[in-house]
Structure 1
Amino acid sequence: MADAIDSPTPPPAPAPGGSKLVPALLALNLLVVAALLAVFLLRGGATGAPVAAAAGAAHGKEGAAAPPGPTIKLADFIVHLRDTDADRYARVTFDVEVATEEDRTRLTPLVPRVRDAFIAYLSDRTVEELRGSDAIARTKAALSERLGALAAGVEIRALYITDLVIQ
């Protein structure tokens, strides 16, 4: 009897043929991933159809995105920022997108006024008012409003900050 207690009994041998649950789950997982990938690619991914439809609706062409319009590159703006602790400077470059070449021609003579308004606005900002994505969005909104007031007869599509360096 002592021999029966001391000797371990071998574990039962796995059934021949094995379980079909693991391969079935792997196949199901593969199908789900493939379906999600297909939906993602067919809908245009992260930058596809929903954004294009919204852009098309904004321009009155439902379902079709408007092509980019002509742009005017404004020369670098180097402004002294309002800061009491130290002399701080910002270098900012803008591109203005307009609807047509005619709008571009009408905006070109207004560039000195636009530069003056932008410099006046930017030189009244502090470093904290220009740092971060929220601050950049507020700055673009304020400058777009000023641009729209200065160029009333020009259809401005967008104002892009293409370079921003704060020292």
Structure 2
Amino acid sequence: MAKAAKKEAEPEAETDEAPKKSKLPSKKVMIIAAAALLVIGGGGVGAYMFLGHGAEKKEEAKKEVVKPATFVDLPDVLVNLSSAGSDRTQYLKVKVVLELPDAELVPKIQPLMPRVMDAFQTYLRELRPTDLDGSAGLYRLKEELTRRVNVAVAPNKVTAVLFKEIVVQ
């Protein structure tokens, strides 16, 4: 009978442990679910702030800050291109406009125009006709002229150099 009592006591011990095991996973599931809700809720609030409500404030700020660009015409530049072994001389005629971020820069840049024209002349005389081939060549020319103008008018800054006319003859 003592053995029968032990057998009966063992199933009771197993039933006592079974509810404890079932409570642990439910606590883990609840913690995981709470963490998931926290992450999803935080993501929703962040999306609302950055995409919804925050975008309206940024658009309003951009509308207020936008200033019309100012353009300054430069005199036409006519240079002969570098010819390595060619008998025929080729010329480059360029009409350029400087784009300034603010109209207040025009009086600051006007006294520096001889320096800008000198930078244009010295650079353009080094070019070969093949340097101007295609849109990639013109883009490189534009970027290099913008860089040289910004060096010449420093500490002021020019937004872009725009071409009105380019003729290679």
Task: Give the alignment's TM-score, normalised by structure 2.
Answer: 0.59
Aligned to 1:34: none
Which among 140, 148, 155 is matched to residue 153 of structure 1?
155
CA distance in 2, matches of 1:68, 1:101: 9
Aligned to 1:115: 117
Q: Does the residue aligned with 2:150 lie in a helix, a strand or coil?
A: helix
Aligned to 1:70: 70
* Contact 1:98/1:154, CA 8 A, preserved across alignment: no
Gaps of 5+ in 2: 1-57
2:135 aligned with 1:140: no
* Contact 1:80/1:88, CA 8 A, preserved across alignment: yes
Deviations 1:96-144 (A, max 9, x none): 0112222111111111110111111011000110121100000111111
CA distance in 1, matches of 2:104, 2:68: 15
Equivalent residues, number: 109
Aligned-pair distance for 1:155? 2.8
CA distance in 1, matches of 2:109, 2:122: 19
Aligned to 1:40: none
Q: Tell me the amino acid that sits aligned with residue 78 of structure 2.
A: I
Moved over 4 A (4+): 61-65
Q: Does the residue aligned with 2:159 lie in a helix, a strand or coil?
A: strand
Q: CA RMSD in A?
A: 2.2
Aligned to 1:92: 94
* Contact 1:88/1:166, CA 8 A, preserved across alignment: yes
Aligned-pair distance for 1:66? 3.2
* Counterpart mapping for 1:1-167 below 5 A: 62=62, 66-83=66-83, 84-85=85-86, 86-167=88-169
Q: Tell me the amino acid that sits aligned with residue 100 of structure 1.
A: D
Q: Tell me the amino acid that sits aligned with residue 99 of structure 2.
A: E
Percent sequence identity over aligned pairs? 28
CA distance in 2, matches of 1:70, 1:95: 10
Aligned-pair distance for 1:152? 1.1
Q: Tell me the amino acid that sits aligned with residue 79 of structure 1.
A: V
Q: Tell me the amino acid that sits aligned with residue 108 of structure 2.
A: R
Task: Give the alignment's TM-score, normalised by structure 1.
Answer: 0.60
Q: Tell me the amino acid that sits aligned with residue 75 of structure 1.
A: P
Q: Does the residue aligned with 2:115 lie in a helix, a strand or coil?
A: helix
Q: Does the residue aligned with 1:93 lie in a helix, a strand or coil?
A: strand
